[in-house]
Amino acid sequence: MAEQWHKHDMDLLGGRRLRRTRRTAWSRAMVRETTLTPADLIWPLFVIEGENQKTQIRTMPGVERLSVDLCIEAAKQARDAGIPALALFPNTPDHLRSENGAEAFNPDNLMCRALSAIKSAVPEIGLIADVALDEYSSDGQDGLVRDGEVLNDETVEVMIKSALVQSKAGADIIAPSDMMDGRVGAIRAALDASGYEQTQIMAYAAKYASFYYGPFREAVGSGSRLKGDKRTYQMDYANSDEALREIEQDIAEGADSVMVKPGMPYLDIVRRARDNFNIPIYAYQVSGEYAMIEMAAAAGAIDRQGAIVESLHAFKRAGANGVLTYFALEMARELTQ
């Protein structure tokens, strides 16, 4: 009976055995559809004041905030590992945070000093500057607030000023992460008019109002001061078609590349973006995703290294050109061994 079933089964398959190519490591490598290299990875760094200073982030085991001099050393390590770019996020001191977020366009702010110092010491590595007000505002919102409403056009005006001082300080890519309407076009026009026509814009085009950002907000010091939520400007996680409209709009306004954030819970958005737009697409493996892998591994629930590698391949398989990930340095070194 078993022999008859086997013959019938093989007849239906036409003699095909799909497991043949999976049988050995060399064969699996030969037919692998998705590859991961250090050039696919962008390393986010959290910057703090001081010298030779590093502070732990409670909800992100293994990730530290670094003073500017230590960021320079991190940049050298990234360069040597083949990582093409860093994404910088400042933890602005409390006394410099305000309702109007004016520290965002102070040419001597923490972000600008970090950009300048790293670019001077490690000119070979690209620098991506976050542009949003949550790192500078006293209420933790990404925009200016009046009577409980997050203002769009007034926020864009501040973001333009911030983008200009960051470009002057050495930013290669301006990354508006706020989700205000029209900010990509306004920043592009301002950059071009000020002689920064070579500065790229990586637009956080499909950024969702997600619960996966908690550890990041702790890292930049905005979480405990956040009043309300960000649902009036970041996207509803129930929506997919809306993401395509947002991406299309940012491309029309002059974005050089676009971002989907968060990452793995939104791989369907990465895939739809890849299928619909001919533009570099990046995904952010956000702090909550990082924390879940680390904490699950610490609990013995998953294999840490295997989960990291699998998750990063998932981004590439979905269509991302690259991934912002806190595992970047570790992974880049692993890939070049």
Catalytic residue among 119, 230, 261, 316: 261
* Span 141-196, pLDDT tens digits: 999 999 999 999 999 999 999 999 999 999 999 999 999 999 999 999 999 999 99
Active site residue 76: no
pLDDT score at 236? 98
| Average pLDDT value over all residues in the chain | 95
Report whether pLDDT(92) > 80.
yes
Binning pLDDT at 50, 70 and 90, where does residue 14 land? Answer: low
Task: Please report, rounded to a whole number, the percentage of residues in the chain having pLDDT higher than 70.
Answer: 96
On whether the CB atoms of residues 89 and 45 are closer than 8 A, the answer is yes
pLDDT score at 16? 82
Catalytic residue among 76, 119, 161, 207: 207
CA 205 to chain centre: 12
Total number of domains in the chain: 1
CA 159 to chain centre: 18
Residue 12 maps to a domain: no
Residue 11, H or E segment: helix 2-13
Write the CATH number for 59: 3.20.20.70
The model carries a pTM of 0.94
For residues 156 and 80, what is the distance between their CA atoms, to the nearest angstrom? 37
On whether the CB atoms of residues 93 and 139 are closer than 8 A, the answer is no
Residue 4 maps to a domain: no
For residues 321 and 17, what is the distance between their CA atoms, to the nearest angstrom? 32
Active site residue 230: no
Residue 16 maps to a domain: no
Residue 23 maps to a domain: no
Mean pLDDT of 312-318: 98
Binding residues for Mg(2+): 246
**CB within 8 Å of 109: residues ≥ 6 apart:** 90, 92, 96, 103, 136, 165
**CB within 8 Å of 285: residues ≥ 6 apart:** 262, 263, 264, 311, 312, 315, 323, 324, 325, 326, 327
Mean pLDDT of 308-336: 97
Q: What SS3 class is residue 271? A: helix
